[in-house]
Amino acid sequence: MRERSEDIPLLLAHFTNHSYELSQPCLTILKSYEWPGNIRELINVAHYITTIDESKIVSLENLPKYILNSEPSDITMSDSTTSLNQNEIAHLDAKLKLDWVYDILMVLRI
Chain segment 58-102, per-residue pLDDT in tens:
888 888 888 888 754 344 444 444 456 676 776 666 666 656 656
Distances (CA, A) of 45 to 13, 35, 83: 11, 11, 22
Which of 101, 100, 106, 81 is CA-nearest to residue 23? 81
* Threshold 0.75, pTM exceeds: no
Strand-pairing partners, residue 21, are: 57
Distances (CA, A) of 106 to 53, 67, 73, 110: 10, 19, 31, 7
Domains plus CATH for the chain?
5-109 (1.10.8.60)
Strand-pairing partners, residue 22, are: 58
Does residue 45 contact residue 64 with C-beta atoms inside 8 Å? yes
